[in-house]
Structures are given as structure tokens and as C-alpha cells.
Structure 1
Amino acid sequence: MSVSIRPHHLLCMVTYLGKGYTPAFVDNYSTIVQRLNDGEPIELVEGPDALCQPMLNEPGCHCRNESVRDRDRSAAAEIAQVLGCKVESGNLFVLDRQLLSLLREAFARGSIRKACEGCEWQTLCSKIARNEFRGCHLAPPD
């Protein structure tokens, strides 16, 4: 089994501390992070993913907006440069400690943050990166 994740959510996950839009969203997010910590692979998808599921029926849900698809395209392009490979729908990979470390280093440097522009969580995520990602829930196996 794999977890469906859209590209910009790879950025969100590196700073996840257990906060989110609603209690159902946070519960789902924490479950997904635990699955990744247990070594379950990620499958990149276009559009709403496993993290979006609790929000899809909420009024004003932004998961299908073009602006969010723009975030995904931006994140995919920047992450691809860091990883040296294509980041596109259908890719399957395990987010291990080495890959997470690469993403966190790039995130802290700001080289994969274009997709974060205008996000309501941007200030919190920047603070987390400055605090060296202490307390973040994502800690996959080696």
C-alpha cells in the first residue's frame, strides 16, 4: 500500500507539529505521518491527496483550486532540483531519513519555499525551520 501525496504537501510534512485546519484534519495527518514513519511509500498525485480527504466536503475547501495546483507545480520543480530527479504524478518512493534530511536542509535554506508564498502556515513553518525542526512528527526509518 502507499500514501497519495501531492507535491506541495511534501513541503508541509517536513514541518508538521500536529497543527492543522480542523481536528479531523490533524487526526488524519498524524495517521499519515505515522504510516510514513513506518516506511510506507508515497505515491505522488495531482490534485487532492490523502491529507486533503477530511477537507473535501468542507465549505470553501481549497484543495481543488488552481492556486493549489500552482503550488504543486512550483513545489515539484524545486524539489526535483534538490533530488536530481523528476517529481511527477505516479512516482513512488519511500521518504527515508536521508531524503527527509535533504528536504529539510533545502527548506531551511529557502530553496524549496516558492510554493509556500502566501500560505497561512508560512510564518509557523519558517519558525519551525529556524528551530531546526525540533518536535516535528515526521521521523522515518533509516
Structure 2
Amino acid sequence: MFKLRGHHLFCLLGYRGMGYSEEYVENMTRLHRTLRENPKIKIQLVKGPDQLCEKYPNSGIYHCQDDNIYERDAAILEKLGLTIGQIVVWEDIELRIRRFIVPSDIQRVCESCSWRSYGVCEEGIQEILDGKGLREVK
């Protein structure tokens, strides 16, 4: 079972093998690949730093504890109808994305995210809506 915070559910959709450090990318790629290959894996939704935050580089400012990040987590969980502490399988998260999310939600919910300008999260949501699942990352 993986422990993930709210906004990382969207980050996984847009993930294309880029990240904050080599260690972070390796961790994210491993988790992403596992979810893609085994969509029945369980996810426990947590408040605050999760298994991806564990590999965030120690470069001074630790954004994983930033108030804006907590607000983004809460907004995404609310849109998906999920709560902290809940355990769901990844395929149920994809189902909720298909039911409750549209690509343009990224512009509002993730407005302050530095990765938003790449447009990959909207693409990831569209691929879920099209029934393609998570994009393969090599």
C-alpha cells in the first residue's frame, strides 16, 4: 500500500519522468510504474508529507509543508469525493477522475504549481478520460 497526499494524485497523471532530483525521479517513476501496472494497488490518503515527499531534496525550503500545498491537497480530495485516512485502489481514483474532473480543473486547483505551465497534467487527465490510464514513463 502506498501513502499519498491529495495533490500527488494529480501529479501522477502528468508525470513524465521529470522531478526535483535524481532520487525524487527514481522514487516517483517506481511508484508511477507500479500504479500503471497494478491499478488494484491500495492507496491510503494522508494529510501532509507522503512517500513522494520523502525524496524531496533538502535544498532549503521544504515546500511539502507549505500552506498552499495543504490547500491544494484538500481541494483535490474534495473534487474527487475522498477523505484523509481513506484507503482506495488506484483504479477507483481513475474512475473518480473520469466522473468528477476535467482538464481545465488544473488551471484553478493547481494555479500556483510550478509544473502547471508544462501542460502535462491536463494531458494526463484527458488520457484518463479517454480510458488510457497512466502514460508509460521510461
Q: Same fold (TM over 0.5)?
A: yes
Per-residue CA shift, 1:105-127, capped at 9, x if unaligned?
Answer: 7242x246532111111121357
Matched ranges for 1:29-68 at <5 A: 29-37=28-36, 38=38, 39-55=40-56, 57-68=58-69
Whichever residue aligns with residue 59 of structure 2, its letter is: E
**Which residue matches 2:24?**
25
Instruction: Trace 1:1-142 onto structure 2 (pairs within 5 A).
Output: 2-37=1-36, 38=38, 39-55=40-56, 57-80=58-81, 87-96=82-91, 99-100=93-94, 102-103=96-97, 106-108=101-103, 110-111=104-105, 113-126=107-120, 129=123, 132-133=126-127, 136-137=135-136
Q: Counterparts of 2:28 and 2:46 in 1: how far apart (Å)?
A: 17
Q: Which runs of 4+ in 1 moved over 6 A?
A: none
How many residue pairs get aligned? The number is 129
Unpaired runs of 5+ residues, structure 2, are none
- With the length of structure 1 as denominator, give the TM-score of the two structures: 0.76
**Contact 2:4/2:52 (CA < 8 Å) preserved in 1?**
yes
TM-score by length of 2: 0.77
Give the root-mean-square deviation of aligned CA atoms: 2.7
Give, in whole Å, the separation in 2 of the partners of 1:3 and 1:123.
28
Bigger mean CA offset, 70-79 vs 44-53: 70-79
Q: Relative to structure 2, which stretch is displaced further, 122-131 or 66-75?
A: 122-131
Consecutive unaligned residues of structure 1, counting only runs of 5 or more, are 81-86
